[in-house]
Every structure is written in structure tokens, then in C-alpha cells.
Structure 1
Amino acid sequence: MAESDSSAGTVNIPALRTWMHEARPDGLAGPLTARLIAGGRSNPTYEVSDGTHHWILRRPPYGEVLKSAHDMSREARVMGALAGSAVPVPHVVGLCRDPAVLGAEFYVMDKLVGRTLRTAEDTRSLTPDQRGRLTDTMIRTLVALHEIDPADVGLEDWGRPQGYLERQLNRWERQWHAIKTSERPRVDEVIGMLRRSMPETTLPGIVHGDYKIDNLLVAHEDPTQILGVLDWEMSTLGDTLADLGMLISFWDEVGTFHNPITAGATALEGFPTANEVVRKYADLRNISIHSLDWYIIFADLKLAVILEQIHARHLAGTTVGDWYDDIGGMVAPILDRAHDRAFRSGL
């Protein structure tokens, strides 16, 4: 059987095979194949196999990538650091920093055998009891992450919590103006309201950066069990409430606007309300949470910029896969929600 690449022009199989031989002292069982898999809209993601073993390869997008974005080394390092902790993560096989191998840095991790719950169709397969217990596991896992002392896992230099929110807001503002495909005045309006009402960081810790239901891999036989937390590229030391705001941004409820990414995935019987999720998180951490709206609005803004980045790459013809046609239409609705919430909150 000859080595192959089912996504021609995207993975240099001979170069990858050479690198894999170096990364895995036990060698490879047979010819390599690489298959583009759905889900990695921001970062192309491939399943790699030698016929016996299966891995996941993650790399930055093709085409122009903004500085500091899509840092594969961050994903690889934080998952390596969290291995064996209360936060389940895949085993990282290795990180390749040499762009000469595949055209950009990339990393390879073991493939976990589980399922991802991306849509309402996926979560509809769970019973109401399973939905409730999965939510409890999700919240407990997030709390476990936020209560890890970074120094205990070698991440004391992972970032600077003080000033995190200001740096983040400045970063996403710069990225919007660097990649926008059309003028959207609401972006600057929302940024202005967020800047004038920025809270002080009082709960520093390890931040995932994109914690939501479809970035979790759950067990086939027990979908309330989380096998791995995925997509760590935006992880850093920062304000842990930013993760809670992101989770709530994606927490769809019956009768409300649904985040265009999750599209109603949690708007089903058994899933608690967003307010109940926040209360459970606060109770587990024994903290009081006031004015979470700032963090939710910031999460919506951040998502709008990410969607615009992907849309811009799609227009430039540098995306791979066939699931990008709807991306551009997601930007305005999420911006509108952020704008409306900001006004209702009096930011």
C-alpha cells in the first residue's frame, strides 16, 4: 500500500513520515495516510495513521496568518503541562517548529476515541439526564483548570494575568482592523464600551481561551465523561472569568438567540440555564460573581473577529475543506448580540 494524502497539496507525507520516525522511537507500523477532518475551521486538523496507530495533526491556517495568532506551540506546551492533572488532555507526541517540514509549525497528538457534540442534532442523542450530568462535568473540569497553580505544572511563565483584559481587547481590536472584509461600526462601538467599563482581574489562573461544548471530546459509551479538552491555542495566564464568559456566550437556551457556532446545541431539555451554569461554577469555586456581562460581551466580540478572520481566508481561497461558505454570515448576528447586551447592561 503506497503512502497517500487524501487532501492533496496540504500534507507532505514523505516529510511527515521522516519527522514521525524521529518523534516516535518505536517507529511506524506501515505507510502513512493523512485525512482532513471537520471541526478545525480555524486550524486545519488531520487524522494521521500508519494503519495501526492513529494521531491528530494540527497546523496553522494556510495563507497569511496574523502575528501571534494560531500558535501551535502553545497548544502543545499547555497539554503537555496538564498531562496527569484533573483536566483531561490528549498525549502530545511531538511539536515541529521547523516550517520546512510542512510549511508551518505543527504538532501531533494521540487520537482519543470519542465523540464531539457540535450541534443540536448531536446533543439530541443524549438523554435529558445525560445532558445535565455532562454539564456538571463540564463545569467541574473548568473549575479544576482554574484552580490549578500554574507553578505546579510548569506554567508560571505562561502569561501575565495583570493587564490581561486590556491586552486582549487591544489585540482583538488590532486583528479586526487588520482583516476586516467590510466596515462594521458596531465593532468600534462595542470595543469602546468594553474599554470604558473594564473590570479588574481578581481571579487569575490558567485560561483555556475557547472553552465550549464542541471543544470537548466525550466517551461514546458514556457521553457524560470528558476524555479530553481540546483547542488550547489561545491558552495563557489571565482572568479565569474570561473562560466562563466564553462558555456562556456559547450556552444556547430555548427561545433566545443561538450562537451561530453551536446553533442550539444546549437548548434542549436537561441542560441547565446559563444562570444555573454560572451559579454552579461560583458555588464550586466559593466565589461571588458580579457583572459577568462584560466577559460575555467580550467573548462575542472575540468570536466575531475569529469568524471574520476565517471568512477573509475563505475569500482569499486559502481555507481547506467545504464547510466555510456560511462563515461570513455569522459575523453580523454575533456582533449585534454583543452590541445589544452592552447597551442593556449599561456598559
Structure 2
Amino acid sequence: MLDLEDMHAVADGIEVVATAGDADPRNAPPLLVLDRLRGYLDAQHIGLGPISWRRIGEGQSNVTYLLRRGDAAVVLRRGPRPPLPRSTHDMRREASVQRLLAEAGIPVPRIRAVCTEESVLGVPFYLMDHVDGHVITGTLPAHLTAPADRLRISELVVECLAALHAVDVGQESFASLGRPQGYLRRQVERFTGLWDVSSTRVLPEVQRLSAWLGAHLPQSRRAALVHGDYRLGNIMFTDGATHIAAVLDWEMATLGDPLADLGYLTATWSTAAAAPTPIELSPVTALPGFLDRQGLVEHYVKLTGADVSALPWYQALALWKSAIFSEAIYTRWLNGERPGDTTFAPALETGVPRLLEAARAVAVTA
């Protein structure tokens, strides 16, 4: 649960500046410019007075801040610093997805405003309600340590995914989110191309896996809204973990094959029996009481009746894609674009090859 009192009241002059004139041109552009942001909040009638801030979340792509202003608490989500392609950090689209899902009954934060005017922060951003709850990653809250709590958390994750995949995406309002036909082939082709522009090293396993995935495409059974990064760390639970308060981080959402989400969830779910990879960001699930990967699959099948015989292909896809976007993070770090990152990105020198090895190990079982 987020502590609204644990906030920064003073700009640090690097990541957050009081005015645009305070930004040091020798540094990367700031992520928040408080006087411009205050003017935007005034126009949206959100709070009064000075802004306090705190960076939240573990995302390695888009950036999220909790803002407090008077009695108002909102969350700001923006893309990273340029020069990354804007198309991969589309704030308007991400906010639109959440609005559609709120109408469909999926628990997501309420969108308050979307700013596409880059004169405020230099990139588009949106504001959403602050949702009170717990994001479970490395440790469990003290009141959720019983085996029954761990089982229920596991089941809720799967039940929410099944509900997401049951949303009627045949409605006209979802048409702008993409074409589900050919989704899997486009994923393979797109990420194959991304490797060439995001890496400075040669790892032959990338192309070998690309060829294998392309040659063994399964037939998609149906279309659904695919989250694209559905994992425990993107889910916020109510205080007693009896319900999911919100599903977060919709930047990669699109229409496609729902088994892509199940493949990603299970491939990134930590278990005591499997060697960890860099994308297992919630090691708590390796504790006794949580469902293992097979248990997640069985619960999903029970709820949806899905044919999961081809699931290893989707798991290999998830690990392979993760290796490629992790490589992009590693390259940005090498280029000095992640100056504060002293742990995650440096570890990807060996972490990306481990992801590729894991993808190959899954592929040979398919």
C-alpha cells in the first residue's frame, strides 16, 4: 500500500525541476517540470497549491509518478526520455484502452486527463486516479502470509485474466486497437526487426528462435484483448487480497491471441523448481502455497475451456520477446540513457542470453 506521506516536496534538479530554466543542459531532459505541470493541473481542476511527488512502479519502459496536491492524489504516466520511438509509448492509446476496459467492468484506474501537448513535459502523458492497494512482488504483506492467502492471490490473477479475455472485443469501440488476424506472425516479424535496431552485439540464438517461431505458428482459436505484460507486478490487490483493485500498465495492449497472455504469465511466474530469469520480477510466487505454472494453466482452462496444447510455443515467444526488449534496455544503458540504473540494466549483459536459453529450452518441448 502506497504511503501518501512519503513524498518529495523539493525538486532534485535532475529528474524533477521546479522550472524549465532549472534544467541543466548537460544532463538528460527532466521527467517532471513542476511549474508547467502545476499549470496543467490547474486547468484540469486537480488539487490546489504545490505538488509533491514520488516515482512508483518497477516499469523499465514508461515512467509513473504518484502526485499529491492538496487533497488530491493522482498518478501521472509518461513515456521515457526521447529519442525512443513515440509509437511504442502512445499515452493516448494506453488511456483509451483503460477507458474501454472500465466500461467493460475490468478493474483499472479511472483516467482523469490526457495531455498530448508536448510543451508541458516534452512528451505526452496522462493522469489517472490513485488506487489504494498492494502490489506484490518480492515480499508479502504481513497479513497475507497464510497458505490460503497465497492460493487465493494466484487464483485471482488467473480469474482476472479470464475475465479480460472474455470482454467482447467485437464492439466497434475496440476496432481502433488493432487487427487480431495475423497477430502472432506480426509479433514474430516485429520483434525480429526490433533486435536489429536495439542491439550492438551478435547473439545468433535470436535469429534461430525467430525462424523456429515463424515456422511453427499455432492457429489462433479466437480474438481477445491482450494485455501484453500480464504479470503479478502489474496487479494491485485490495487490502485483504479478496479482490483485485486494479490491473496496471496497458502500454502493450492490443487485439490478438489470448494465449499470448497466458504464455507470458506462466513463463515469467517464479517457481522454486526453475532457474530465475531477469523478467521474473515477483519472486514471492516461488514460496509454498502459490500455484505453480501448471496450476495457473489448469485454473485458466477450468474457467475458459481453452485448448492449451500449444502453450509451450507461446511461452517461448514470451521469453524470446522479453530478451529483445531487455536488450533494448541494456543498449540504452550502454549509451548512457539510464544513468541511475546500477543493477537491472547492467545485469542484462548475461541476463539476455539466459532468456534466450530459457526460450530454447521451452521450444524443444513444444
TM-score by length of structure 1 reads 0.91
Q: Is the 8 A contact 1:70 1:233 kept in 2?
A: yes
Deviation at 1:61, TM superposition (A): 1.4
| Residue in structure 2 matched with residue 157 of structure 1 by the alignment | 176
Q: Is the 8 A contact 1:45 1:59 kept in 2?
A: yes
Deviations 1:195-243 (A, max 9, x none): 0000121121111111000000112x31242110001000011111111
| Residue in structure 1 matched with residue 260 of structure 2 by the alignment | 242
Q: In structure 1, what residue type is equivalent to 2:31?
A: T
Q: Is the 8 A contact 2:312 2:365 kept in 1?
A: no
Deviation at 1:247, TM superposition (A): 0.5
Q: Does 1:283 align with 2:302?
A: yes
Partner SS for 1:40? coil
Q: In structure 1, what residue type is equivalent to 2:274?
A: T
Q: Does 1:255 align with 2:255?
A: no
**1:173-252, aligned counterparts within 5 Å?**
173-219=192-238, 221-252=239-270
Q: In structure 2, what residue type is equivalent to 1:237?
A: L
Q: Is the 8 A contact 1:36 1:321 kept in 2?
A: no
Q: Larger deviation: 123-132 or 235-244?
A: 123-132
Q: In structure 2, what residue type is equivalent to 1:244?
A: L
Q: 1:62 aligns with which of 68, 73, 81?
A: 81
Q: Is the 8 A contact 1:74 1:234 kept in 2?
A: no
Aligned residue pairs total 340
| Unmatched segments (≥5 aa) in structure 1 | none
Greater relative contact order: 1 or 2 (C-alpha under 8 angstroms, separation 6 or more)? 1
CA distance in 1: counterparts of 2:327 and 2:243, whole angstroms: 33
Query: Once superposed, what is the RMSD of the aligned Cα atoms?
Result: 2.1
CA distance in 1: counterparts of 2:92 and 2:348, whole angstroms: 26
| Residue in structure 1 matched with residue 137 of structure 2 by the alignment | 118
CA distance in 2: counterparts of 1:60 and 1:97, whole angstroms: 12
Q: Is the 8 A contact 1:90 1:109 kept in 2?
A: yes
Q: In structure 1, what residue type is equivalent to 2:148?
A: D
Q: In structure 1, what residue type is equivalent to 2:42?
A: H
**1:76-115, aligned counterparts within 5 Å?**
76-115=95-134
Q: Does 1:53 align with 2:59?
A: no
Q: Is the 8 A contact 2:149 2:241 kept in 1?
A: yes
Q: Is the 8 A contact 1:181 1:308 kept in 2?
A: no
Partner SS for 1:339? helix
CA distance in 2: counterparts of 1:329 and 1:115, whole angstroms: 31
CA distance in 2: counterparts of 1:93 and 1:330, whole angstroms: 38
| Identical-residue share of aligned pairs (%) | 34
Q: Larger deviation: 322-331 or 60-69?
A: 322-331
| Unmatched segments (≥5 aa) in structure 2 | 1-7, 17-29
Deviations 1:38-61 (A, max 9, x none): 412211211111132211111111
Deviation at 1:153, TM superposition (A): 8.1
| Residue in structure 1 matched with residue 3 of structure 2 by the alignment | none
TM-score by length of structure 2 reads 0.87
Judged with a 3 Å threshold, the aligned counterparts in structure 2 of structure 1 residues 185 and 66 are, in CA distance, closer, same or farther, namely farther
CA distance in 2: counterparts of 1:318 and 1:54, whole angstroms: 30
